[in-house]
Amino acid sequence: MFNVISFPGLGLEFEVSRSLFSVFGMPIYTYGLIIGLGLCLGFLYALSEVKKCGISQDDFYNMFLIGVPAAIICARIYYVIFNWDYYQNNLFDILNIRGGGIAIYGGVIGAAAAVLIYCKLKKLNIGKVLDILAVGLLIGQAIGRWGNFVNGEAFGSACNLPWAMTIEQDGKIVANMVHPTFLYESLANAVGVLLLCLYKKKKVFDGEIFCGYMVWYGLVRMFVEGLRADSLYFGTIRVSQALSVVLLVMGLTLIAKNRKKHLTKEEN
């Protein structure tokens, strides 16, 4: 279970294993371990921030325990919905998540919904919670995209750029000189983490950092999705690209609206 991933223009070649070891005969996939690492680092960042915002660690642990399963389930549901032509005739495969098929937007929607419901029930400041989670989420996404590198997936269309990528799986070339879109998004997300951390000093309302996440990730994914060769479609529309535009517009609108409201209060 090896992939050979090369960047001919840069003279680089990597042989990566899709499975590092087995437990009771069941392979433990490198992809899952990388996703887990991203999740843990995002969690640790958020944990370091909760005390500063007056949120108890117990509440944060509860949100984590609720949010992660919700994210996984919704990421799968999102993927299945937009691949229904296949799954309607293979219903049992819906549960075979080890066979691949999750979508980050579904995960974000699921986690956000779970956190919003929890905050509502516990009467917590939703804006403060979302601001913490936004940076942690982007950290997880920046690292998690390297799982796509290991799997030899989420690549783009053909190009002749110096950093074009070629992927060989089990002796068969599945992508020849294509955009390494996993890398574009990973690097952009890392930059986004730095920008959001700097933006924290300038925020004027709770929830503004999360709005900043919506703007940044929406912008990044809108462009990256346009290059990808494996997009989910609704008719002729790239679903994630359309959702990215919505996210971008919503984030900008909320920031403009709430900043204007804040300035009006100060003037009065």
Tokens 């609206």 locate to 257
DSSP-based three-state secondary structure for 54: coil
Q: Is the dihedral of CA 25, 4, 222, 44 positive or negative?
A: positive
Q: pLDDT at position 130, please? A: 93
Q: pLDDT at position 4, please? A: 95
Q: Is pLDDT above 70 for 160?
A: yes
Question: What are the residue ranges spanned by the domains of the chain?
Answer: 2-55+125-193
The answer for residues whose C-beta is within 8 angstroms of residue 128's C-beta and 6 or more apart is 53, 54, 55, 206, 207
Q: pLDDT at position 266, please? A: 65
The answer for residues whose C-beta is within 8 angstroms of residue 179's C-beta and 6 or more apart is 155, 156, 157, 159, 161, 164, 165, 227, 228
Task: Report which residue type is found at 176.
Answer: N
Query: What percent of the chain is modeled with pLDDT above 70?
Result: 97
Do the beta carbons of residue 183 and residue 159 sit within 8 Å? Answer: no
CA distance 193 to 18: 28
Q: How confident is the model at residue 267 (pLDDT cuts 50, 70, 90)?
A: low
pLDDT tens track for 180-230: 999 999 999 999 999 999 998 889 999 999 999 999 999 999 999 999 998
pLDDT tens track for 96-141: 877 777 888 899 899 999 999 999 999 999 999 999 999 999 999 9
